[in-house]
Structure 1
Amino acid sequence: MAFWPNVVVATPAHSGVGSSLTYRSELSLTPGTLVRVPLGAREVLGVVWDCPPQPPEGLTDAQTRAVADVLVGLPPLNARWRQLVKFAAQYYQRGLGEVALAALPPQLRDLSTVQLARRLKKQEKARGTAGDTTPSPPASAPALSDEQQTALQTLDTAKAPVLLFGATGSGKTEVYLQATQQALEAHTDAQVLVMVPEINLTPQLEARFRERFEPLFGADALVCLHSGMTPAQRLAGWLAAHTGQARIVLGTRMAVLASLPGLRLIVVDEEHDPSYKSQEGARYSARDLAVYRAKVENEALSAQGGNARCQVVLGSATPSLETWHAADQGRYLRLSMPARIGGGALPRLRLVDMNHQPKGAVLAPPLVAAMAERIARGEQCMVLLNRRGYAPVLACHDCGWKSACPHCSAYRVFHKLDRTLRCHHCGFTERVPRACPDCGNLDIAPIGKGTEQLEEQLAGLLANVQRPDGSPARVARMDADSTRLKGSLEQQLATMHSGEVDVLVGTQMIAKGHDFRRITLVAGINADSGLFASDYRAPERLFALLMQAGGRAGRDAAFVNSQGSASEMWVQTWTPQHPLFDALRRHDFPAFAAQQLAERENAGMPPFGHQALLRADARSQQAAQAYLNAAAQAADGLPHRDEITLYPAVPLTIQRVANVERAQLLVEASSRGALQRFLSAWQPVLLECRALPQARGLIRFAVDVDPLSI
């Protein structure tokens, strides 16, 4: 007897291939089974979606190909995981196989049944060896504050997603830890997913989770999942999660699609962070999928009976306005934790009006003096400048030459340490020229400032400042360049925690999540860049960044009190009268959110309106925009077209990257349902428009639902 399984494989939506392909099998395959199937001249990994005993009408044996291999020994991906993937594919307008296969570890795609069996046996052996070790005594949990205790009790009974709105330093992580322990102890097969926005936040959080849970559940009970791991590590972590061996999974946005059969708690830390929204491939929001995933798990648990639930916790000191609005409407339960642990105060804001500072000063003299005082008392400082490299541009003032990238419509950044000009978009790198390439002028100079330059200038300004032990002040830098090598991030964090560094200069990667206990002064440089940007989300991002950065100061109340001084947040600005700074001075996020939401409601912007972007990449800007405008014209007869506003095609802000021209077309609707219905009807039209003569030169198109930048 033959069966005809429908298998999803990694085919993007713009390929025109259906959501699944029909194959032939002598075995009845359980939905969710991983198989290897022929696709063209290759053999690829696929997921069985269903396996009917009859072929589709009109399909014969001769028209189908047989399943090449079945990955036995691996439990099928359950129905809840498949429902999550199906929803993500439909909502974000992507191919079903594209989302499903992207959720699996890359190394799994190349393994045969024999190789997989060998990996599973090796993992089981390692698990047995780990079980032979003598467990260390569990770390005692600290006493909870009244706010933490209330939050934990409410989490245990809440029937809706929970927004944990806690000030920086209020102890949100301890709530996560104790909620995790409650979930794992309530059910022997329970699993917990903890997500962070960036890889650099995982070492500190992993250390705290291991300290708390390794003695209770073993060393193999916690695994990490993020793109910074090797393929072998990602495979091992995924297998541990899929088989239930791992009780806790700590990861970045990709972890939301991991197979977790016993999921009972999802924590999304720093839920406001834009990093949770993927900007390539299937452009999904991990935060929104986490909320949907908890809903799917709860529906399944409810059908089984009993009181088990899967709770989702969204934690932040500066929630996204979408999440805040959902809490205002009652769709989410908001729990507030405004007080810092230990009774510490939030840092005072000091605005430095750069109009009254010496011309050309990168750092205001009063700020440098305040930092010197802190260092002399044994305190640490942090300086935030969200731009890496030495300078954004290298220029010749004689002829006007600038360090433009030949492959992108952007400038190459000057990196002084290795004397290179580096494009941060396509990666094109060249040595710094000895003279201007156009006119031969030897006097080419940097324009603007980056973290490398700030580190260099601070080292000079603080050269005569001494620490309490008489040694010179030490300045360090932490950004994507300084943490590129394996282990460098952990090493830099260790030197900061040990007090070896007095001033830490860095990009936004240092501004959130880190628990630096000795920092008492934080400075924000070039803060005005987000005040007048064309993106309507820019004020929200700037407020969150500054408030999160300020939250690194004064986290240890006992240390601050022993120094006899209050923690401070200095912000250099050319517009100190801007209303954003008034809310920041009061640490009043609710007031800022209310003002921003009122503006967005008047303009019909999210969360009061709903958007999608149709993006096109082509060999020429003309072809990209021609395709988009043709697609807009072809949409005129579609259902629900009267509920949609389509704007003309425009180039992206950086319209050329790696010699590929990029354009976009904005789609707006007043309701999410109308937008989804229109996009579903539009998808086949988009495929047909590729064949139009004016679209010649088109490389690819993609739909970005709920875009974070326009």
Structure 2
Amino acid sequence: MTIIRVALDTPLDFCFDYRWAATAGDAAPPRIGQLALVPFGRREVVGLIVAVDVATEVPADKLKDALAIRSQLAPLSEQWRALCAFAADYYQRPLGEVALPGLPKNLRALKTTALDRALKKLAKTAAAHDATPAAAPLLNPAQQAAADAIAGAQGFAPHLLYGVTGSGKTEVYLQAAAQILTRHDDAQILILVPEINLTPQLEGNIRVRFPAVMVATLHSSLAEGERMTHWLAAHLGRARIVLGTRLAILASLPQLKLIVIDEEHDPSYKQQEGLRYSARDLAVWRAHQLEIPIVLGSATPSLESWQHAQTGRYRKLELRERAVAAAVLPAVHLIDMERNKPLDGLTPMLIAALKLRLQRGEQSLLFLNRRGYAPVIACDACGWISNCSRCTAFMVLHKPEHRLRCHHCSLELRIPRSCPTCGNVDLQPLGRGTQRVEEGLQAIFPEARITRIDADSTRRKGSAQAAFDTVHRGEVDILIGTQMVAKGHDFKNLTLVGILNPDTALFSQDYRASERLFAQLMQVAGRAGRAAQKEGGSASEVLIQTRYPQHPLYAAVVNHDYDHFATELLAERQQAHLPPYLYQALLRAEARELVTAIDFLTQAATAVEFPGVTINDPIPMTMTRVANVDRAQLLIECPSRPALQAFLKVWLAALRAIKTRAKWSLEVDPVDI
């Protein structure tokens, strides 16, 4: 009798044993790493075989038969299974909950129709093209040194590629990859980007540069059939360059020789639901596991990576100049809004700068990280404001759609004709979102071609890329956008960036707020002046509207001085005993009543005593209520990562024994507290 042990996508922290009897059509014995169709309760599900044996402790009368083995698919490799096992262990989740969601949905379907179709399609796909590759641009000395250092590294070699915006980090990635692909006939390269809208531009550059190489993309916007084909190309070693977002770190890549994490500082690399993993951290572990080089690139590295570079754990490679010789970093100026009073959100100085660019045929970007028309509408008569009835949040006015919308629970309502409290018909919008800024600009510059790019204007598939294409073609004079436009995009004719309303992040209770604000400002500022200044054209410029021009963060932005800013911030973190000098885990609980969540966390806080671990008091989350569910949290801190991990393993067993109506989850290395 053959017994297979199968990991399933369930919250249960163990695997399940099944009996396997080969059928006439499938006589090959099952292998570890294959997928198996098995009964589970009243359902049939697909799981991952993690062991094959001849005995089991499950009584014979309770042992069920496995239904089928996906033998047409090569087993998932030992190194891939080790990656999933590490992630499950570190993030305190069941193995099946890590391994199975990382696979395409069609691969986990009950029938193999989609798998068979994808395999046939892949078999017909040509492995190479006859097109001539585009010539690689000549690197400057700093770029060449960085590319050679990465490509020539032996074994596990983490590199922090610290380069100012526009310094040509992407070109370093590509030329280092080219050296590795030339040296190893079967080598695979994994390149991660933080957001889906950054993949088309980079994918286009890669395909032009490597026309004889199969390229696969992996991100959540792909149709399931397309994602299946691309995943299989990576799994079978056909795709030699794989480009994707954070989920691609869990792709099966049997011949992986280099990992690149672009914009490594970006919080989008941390999954915020389900398995709350950091793709950046898993990438570093995977590189260590495979003994290969990894590159973490950024103009504003995370403090964790900066500290590793300062202590020698990572090798720092620096690009201090822009790649285009005649291109220089933009001059950053602060506009004191107390002296230069804004009209409809725009100061006279910013309006004059926009007008100058319009006259010269140059592009401008206005950055405001707040979509919608206005954050709230209010009644001056009684003080009513448009709160969401289901969340601790305001409902945002979306004027073009004539709707109020909650950006947290997606509740939508018609705009009231009068105040629900006192009947006053004179309701006013307070504050400004991208829609209101767009309306104001159209009134000031009726002849200008204005485009807004945010989550509302790019809901349809492909609409974001279409909008960016119009900017690249020069068909836009003024671009208004949120964080979607802040990084990665190379707008050749853009010479002015205006930044509106950044001050709110200065007073956030989140200790990471200043780090994120600085990175955001430097990244969006870096969209300006990436090409050489035209004769008679404008020098690149960034104008920041603020009521706090004396704040030291803005001084660092004006001077493009990440080094000093990061050093000061690390010193503050060390003094305050905060990450990266401390390790954290966060227990969240949610329930219909806040008292239920708090009661569970109170029991959790006293469930286990462990030396060196600090368990803080349970508190309501900043946004306490979302979609009629109340939320609270409990923060755990420890100066030792191994000690924290040891505590969590013991603690989780105790938590599972607590009877509660609260739904709870644990996050290791939380990024939002």
- TM-score, normalization by structure 1: 0.92
Relative to structure 1, is the Cα distance of residues 115 and 447 closer, same or farther in structure 2, using a 3 angstrom cutoff?
A: closer
- Are residue 315 (structure 1) and residue 297 (structure 2) matched? yes
For residues 25-58 of structure 1, the C-alpha deviation after alignment (integer angstroms, 9 at most, x for no partner) is 13542111111111110111100111122213xx
- Mapped to 2, the partners of 1:169 and 1:290 lie a distance apart of 25
Equivalent pair of 1:374/1:381 in contact (CA under 8 Å): yes
Relative to structure 1, is the Cα distance of residues 448 and 114 closer, same or farther in structure 2, using a 3 angstrom cutoff?
A: closer
Q: Which moved more, 1:228-237 or 1:273-282?
A: 228-237
Displacement of 1:438: 2.4
Equivalent pair of 2:368/2:434 in contact (CA under 8 Å): yes
Q: Which residue in 2 is equivalent to 1:191?
A: 188
- Mapped to 2, the partners of 1:91 and 1:138 lie a distance apart of 42
Q: Which residue in 2 is equivalent to 1:157?
A: 152
Q: Which residue in 2 is equivalent to 1:366?
A: 349
Question: How does 1:490-509 map onto structure 2 within 5 Å?
Answer: 490-509=465-484
* Structure 2: runs of 5+ lacking an equivalent: 23-28
- Are residue 393 (structure 1) and residue 376 (structure 2) matched? yes
Equivalent pair of 1:72/1:113 in contact (CA under 8 Å): no
- Mapped to 2, the partners of 1:122 and 1:230 lie a distance apart of 15
- Mapped to 2, the partners of 1:153 and 1:121 lie a distance apart of 39
- Mapped to 1, the partners of 2:123 and 2:582 lie a distance apart of 50
- Are residue 248 (structure 1) and residue 233 (structure 2) matched? no
Relative to structure 1, is the Cα distance of residues 115 and 592 closer, same or farther in structure 2, using a 3 angstrom cutoff?
A: closer
For residues 274-297 of structure 1, the C-alpha deviation after alignment (integer angstroms, 9 at most, x for no partner) is 000010000000000000011111
Structure 1 letter corresponding to 2:83: L
For residues 496-523 of structure 1, the C-alpha deviation after alignment (integer angstroms, 9 at most, x for no partner) is 0111101100001101000011111111
Structure 1 letter corresponding to 2:34: T
- Mapped to 1, the partners of 2:190 and 2:298 lie a distance apart of 17
Equivalent pair of 2:106/2:115 in contact (CA under 8 Å): no
Structure 2 letter corresponding to 1:477: R
Q: Which residue in 1 is equivalent to 2:492?
A: 517
For residues 415-453 of structure 1, the C-alpha deviation after alignment (integer angstroms, 9 at most, x for no partner) is 011111111111111221222222222111111110111
- Are residue 333 (structure 1) and residue 315 (structure 2) matched? yes
1:443 to 403, 407, 426: 426
Q: Which residue in 2 is equivalent to 1:82?
A: 81
- Are residue 454 (structure 1) and residue 437 (structure 2) matched? yes
Structure 2 letter corresponding to 1:479: D
Equivalent pair of 2:584/2:669 in contact (CA under 8 Å): yes
Q: Which residue in 2 is equivalent to 1:535?
A: 510
Please state whether the residue corresponding to 2:569 is helix, strand or coil. helix
Q: Which residue in 2 is equivalent to 1:169?
A: 166
Displacement of 1:191: 0.9
Displacement of 1:359: 6.2
Equivalent pair of 1:3/1:55 in contact (CA under 8 Å): no
Please state whether the residue corresponding to 2:137 is helix, strand or coil. coil
Please state whether the residue corresponding to 1:643 is helix, strand or coil. coil
Please state whether the residue corresponding to 1:615 is helix, strand or coil. strand
Question: How does 1:66-465 map onto structure 2 within 5 Å?
Answer: 66-113=65-112, 115-125=114-124, 127-128=125-126, 135-158=130-153, 159-214=156-211, 216-217=212-213, 221-298=214-291, 310-343=292-325, 344-358=327-341, 361-463=344-446
Please state whether the residue corresponding to 2:165 is helix, strand or coil. coil
Equivalent pair of 2:162/2:317 in contact (CA under 8 Å): yes
Q: Which residue in 2 is equivalent to 1:675?
A: 644
Structure 2 letter corresponding to 1:707: P
Please state whether the residue corresponding to 1:4 is helix, strand or coil. strand
Structure 1 letter corresponding to 2:96: G
- Are residue 587 (structure 1) and residue 572 (structure 2) matched? no
Displacement of 1:114: 5.2
For residues 303-337 of structure 1, the C-alpha deviation after alignment (integer angstroms, 9 at most, x for no partner) is xxxxxxx2211000000000000111111111000
1:660 to 626, 629, 638: 629
Displacement of 1:391: 0.6
Q: Which residue in 2 is equivalent to 1:468?
A: none
Equivalent pair of 2:44/2:110 in contact (CA under 8 Å): no
Q: Which moved more, 1:560-569 or 1:369-378?
A: 560-569
- Mapped to 1, the partners of 2:480 and 2:342 lie a distance apart of 22
Q: Which moved more, 1:667-676 or 1:560-569?
A: 560-569
Equivalent pair of 1:71/1:112 in contact (CA under 8 Å): no
Equivalent pair of 2:31/2:75 in contact (CA under 8 Å): yes
* Structure 1: runs of 5+ lacking an equivalent: 299-309, 464-471
Question: How does 1:46-85 map onto structure 2 within 5 Å?
Answer: 46-56=47-57, 59-85=58-84
Please state whether the residue corresponding to 2:189 is helix, strand or coil. strand
| Higher relative helix content | 1
- Mapped to 2, the partners of 1:400 and 1:486 lie a distance apart of 40
Displacement of 1:116: 2.5
Displacement of 1:361: 4.6
- TM-score, normalization by structure 2: 0.97
Structure 2 letter corresponding to 1:338: R
Relative to structure 1, is the Cα distance of residues 371 and 155 closer, same or farther in structure 2, using a 3 angstrom cutoff?
A: same
Please state whether the residue corresponding to 2:53 is helix, strand or coil. coil
Equivalent pair of 2:434/2:452 in contact (CA under 8 Å): yes
Q: Which moved more, 1:428-437 or 1:143-152?
A: 428-437
Structure 1 letter corresponding to 2:501: N
Equivalent pair of 1:180/1:265 in contact (CA under 8 Å): yes
Q: Which moved more, 1:354-363 or 1:519-528?
A: 354-363
Structure 1 letter corresponding to 2:138: A
Displacement of 1:490: 1.6
Equivalent pair of 1:160/1:331 in contact (CA under 8 Å): no
Relative to structure 1, is the Cα distance of residues 167 and 659 closer, same or farther in structure 2, using a 3 angstrom cutoff?
A: same
Q: Which residue in 1 is equivalent to 2:666?
A: 703
- Mapped to 2, the partners of 1:563 and 1:263 lie a distance apart of 49
Equivalent pair of 1:165/1:316 in contact (CA under 8 Å): yes
- Mapped to 2, the partners of 1:322 and 1:365 lie a distance apart of 40
Displacement of 1:600: 0.2
Structure 2 letter corresponding to 1:678: F
Displacement of 1:69: 1.0
Structure 2 letter corresponding to 1:264: K
Structure 2 letter corresponding to 1:279: Q
- Mapped to 2, the partners of 1:665 and 1:374 lie a distance apart of 51
Displacement of 1:564: 4.2
- Mapped to 1, the partners of 2:650 and 2:362 lie a distance apart of 60
- Are residue 480 (structure 1) and residue 455 (structure 2) matched? yes
- Mapped to 2, the partners of 1:629 and 1:503 lie a distance apart of 53
- Are residue 643 (structure 1) and residue 594 (structure 2) matched? no
- Mapped to 2, the partners of 1:431 and 1:684 lie a distance apart of 48
Equivalent pair of 2:582/2:639 in contact (CA under 8 Å): yes
Please state whether the residue corresponding to 2:607 is helix, strand or coil. helix
How many residues in Structure 1 have an aligned counterpart in Structure 2? 664
Displacement of 1:101: 0.8
Equivalent pair of 1:451/1:506 in contact (CA under 8 Å): yes
Structure 1 letter corresponding to 2:541: E
Relative to structure 1, is the Cα distance of residues 55 and 79 closer, same or farther in structure 2, using a 3 angstrom cutoff?
A: same
Structure 2 letter corresponding to 1:239: L
Structure 2 letter corresponding to 1:101: L
- Mapped to 2, the partners of 1:499 and 1:491 lie a distance apart of 13
- Mapped to 2, the partners of 1:583 and 1:408 lie a distance apart of 37
- Mapped to 1, the partners of 2:369 and 2:487 lie a distance apart of 13
Please state whether the residue corresponding to 2:529 is helix, strand or coil. coil
Equivalent pair of 1:321/1:607 in contact (CA under 8 Å): yes
Displacement of 1:115: 4.8
